[in-house]
Structure 1
Amino acid sequence: LSADEAKASPCPPPMEISLAQDLMAYCLSHSQALAQEEMRQRRQAQKNSELFALVMRRSQVSCQVGRMAGLEMARRLCMVSQAHGASLRRSLGVLSSSASPEVYVCGGQADRQTLATVVRFVESREVWEALPPMPTARSFCCCAAVGGKIYVFGGEKDQRAAFAAAECFDPVTGEWERLPPMPTPRAGCAAAVATGKIFVCGGLVMAHQIVDAVESFCPESRRWRRLPPMPTARCGCTAAGVGGRIFVMGGQLADGVVLDKVECLDLESQVWLSLSPMPSARSGLSAVLADGLVHLIGGLGSTGHTIPVVDRFDPARNEWKQPLAASVARAGFATGCAAGDRIYVVGGFGSDRQDSDKNELLDVKSGNVLQMPPLPLARRLCSGAVVVR
């Protein structure tokens, strides 16, 4: 063709170019004609993909597909599919606002028996579901949720030496996976999430051997990293990640002294700071970030009685706010935050030291505590997290 003829020739559609390339490659590799049936199947597959992409451009359709697949699966599709991810990405906001929180409760003790069982509370249906058990039965472990998956670390069984075991549950596949173990085996440790990583703080190796170790786990690289140790070794503490900082609160020493200390690790400078102490010392508590504040729930005070007060800490100003007008008197329970302002408190034990099957929902804006369907089995020293799907 001349230059003028080439300019006048229309550019073939991308689909035809792609099919022509496939045909040439097949002929070159096999030195024979492409079977008509295979050619038809390829054309049909290409047509189906284009039709699906066209239909997915309608927001009502993409939202419905996302709801059927689940929020986490929709997020994964957005990451791996260039053709169909764009439509779902536009619907993620709607999916997130309408998604149902799921509360996962892992391990613990029931009638002094260490558990491997895992249960899930589905808020939209207000029902508990039994899930595949953890590979390792454990109590006094810690738990965190990252990327829609549940991670469980450490713990103990029958008051023996602590575990280093780390395991992950994927709600999409319904399967558990063993992860590289923690560098420091421990129970009674605290987990916090920040910058996409999980930070495990403190704990005890065995009775009276309490550690100051802090180690981070990266879910993507599956590697552990040692960080500067806490200024105060402690177990039974709690931790919260806020921005690029990790806050460790409360807990107790090897001699049983209950702490009101608050220490903060700046992840950029790798420096620990001592902050304003808690209004009351407590161990076996839980810290949950909700509505911009760290809420301290439950735990045992210096006298061994459960503390019902919900204290609130402002991490931006390093100051304590007025306590929430709510009462949650338990220790050794599982917690998780849903929708940014609702906290689930599940299981544990009270001042009577009896295993609890309570499932309470704390609304941090109103201060109301709602009674939800109880656990199928009362348990203490369990851990938990919330996943929104």
Structure 2
Amino acid sequence: MSVPSALEFHWQSLARLPSGRVYHSLAEVGGQMYMLGGCDAAGRPSPALELYSPEGDQWLSLPPMPTPRAGAAVAVLGKQILVVGGVGEDQRPLKVVEVYNTEEGRWRKRCALREALMGVAVTVKDGRALAVGGMGSDLLPRSILQQYDLRKNVWALLPPMPTPRYDATAHLLGNKIYVAGGRQCKRTLKVFEVFDSETRSWSTLPNMPCKRSYGGVFWDSSGRLCLLGGLRKGGGHQSSKFTKNVNIFDTNQGLWLKSEDTVAMKTKRADFASSFLRGRMVVAGGLGHQPSVLDTVEAFHPQKRKWERLAPMAMARCSASSIVIRDRLLVVGGVNQVPSSAHEILYVKEECL
């Protein structure tokens, strides 16, 4: 399958956020992007809920969340946005759960988590949200797997993960939930486990090739887990180092591709935006060995088997939130010395915005 050339990708700056924001959450409902919470320049969690209107290229303020929070996990259940955990105004994990109905335009408090958690990973299966792991108020990781039924407004416990952790990546593929990486206190993990919803059991998969944090993590259209860049944990007393390595797990073969079957990125970087867009792995911005944050962008060409430079972002930043909607990558907020209000979209020139 042919993919767009590097010259066909184009950045466009869109309406800036009402204020600089970082650690906010993005959700898509009906092709529209919602932005929830996050931290302002003073580090305060925000209750803000905003909708981006592409027709008028503007942000619309909607009823705020009842609970200010940053770093929340979000799941879209039909026309409703479920908001789980995160960090509250006292800088501690939250147990309160809230739902925003996009048709009614109002919030409702729902059945709370069994305990306050941050760093929860969430995915959706058969209209139910599945929340994996998290860190409790005691700063210890959890192995909990819980399922939320919106209609009944109840959380049900499922068999726990073998490895407690928070800030992991969870992805649903068929009847299986893959959970990769994460952290235990300050220690990064390379554990990779999968939950089979039919047998209701966990299995351990081959470990990730290396411990890394702040890397790019996504699944491609072939159901392969892609890990890119990040900070690679040094051995012994060695400090962590930026890496440009790429690791890919093939779920069909049940193994990680050999290093000779992958191609490293051009630039070592961490804390960047990443996605699988129009058949190409794309990375944008982040931090590297340079003295300032990055604006550089690159994409992998599968036929040429090489990374190519794309046009840079207009605003260099790291810690940005990103989402792909209708084959377009939106990069929202982030940090460039202070929280950024930048909002840009990467698309292919042949398309009409």
For Structure 1 versus Structure 2, the TM-score category normalised by the shorter chain is 0.5 to 0.7
- Name the counterpart of 2:125: 194
The yes-or-no answer on 1:204 pairing with 2:135 is yes
- Name the counterpart of 1:32: none
The yes-or-no answer on 1:296 pairing with 2:227 is yes
CA-CA distance at 1:213 after TM superposition: 0.9
Q: Please tell me whether the aligned partners of residues 143 and 385 of structure 1 are also in contact (alpha carbons under 8 angstroms).
A: no
CA-CA distance at 1:159 after TM superposition: 6.3
CA-CA distance at 1:304 after TM superposition: 4.5
Selected match of 1:350 from 287, 310, 315? 287
Selected match of 2:99 from 168, 180, 187? 168
Q: Quick one: which amino acid aligns to residue 200 of structure 1?
A: A
Selected match of 1:319 from 255, 264, 269? 255
Cα distance change, pair 261–114 in 1 and its aligned pair in 2 (3 A): same
CA-CA distance at 1:237 after TM superposition: 1.5
- Name the counterpart of 2:48: 117
Selected match of 1:138 from 49, 69, 78? 69
- Name the counterpart of 2:269: 329
Listed as ranges, the gaps of 5+ residues in structure 1 are: 1-98
- Name the counterpart of 2:172: 241
Q: Deviations over 1:32-76 (max 9, x none)?
A: xxxxxxxxxxxxxxxxxxxxxxxxxxxxxxxxxxxxxxxxxxxxx
Listed as ranges, the gaps of 5+ residues in structure 2 are: 1-28, 234-238, 328-353
Q: Please tell me whether the aligned partners of residues 142 and 154 of structure 1 are also in contact (alpha carbons under 8 angstroms).
A: yes
- Name the counterpart of 1:3: none
Structure with larger RCO (C-alpha < 8 A, sep 6+): 2
Deviates more, 1:129-138 or 1:200-209: 129-138
Cα distance change, pair 204–388 in 1 and its aligned pair in 2 (3 A): same
CA-CA distance at 1:150 after TM superposition: 3.0
Selected match of 2:202 from 260, 268, 272? 272
Cα distance change, pair 119–272 in 1 and its aligned pair in 2 (3 A): same
- Name the counterpart of 1:223: 154
TM-score by length of 1: 0.58
Structure 1 CA distance for aligned equivalents of residues 176 and 84 of structure 2:
20
CA-CA distance at 1:239 after TM superposition: 1.1
Q: Quick one: which amino acid aligns to residue 269 of structure 2?
A: A
CA-CA distance at 1:103 after TM superposition: 4.2
Cα distance change, pair 383–227 in 1 and its aligned pair in 2 (3 A): farther
Cα-Cα RMSD: 4.2
Q: Which has more radius of gyration?
A: 1
CA-CA distance at 1:131 after TM superposition: 3.9
CA-CA distance at 1:183 after TM superposition: 2.2
CA-CA distance at 1:231 after TM superposition: 0.8
The structure whose residues are more often helix, as a share, is 1
Q: Please tell me whether the aligned partners of residues 238 and 285 of structure 1 are also in contact (alpha carbons under 8 angstroms).
A: no
Cα distance change, pair 277–306 in 1 and its aligned pair in 2 (3 A): same
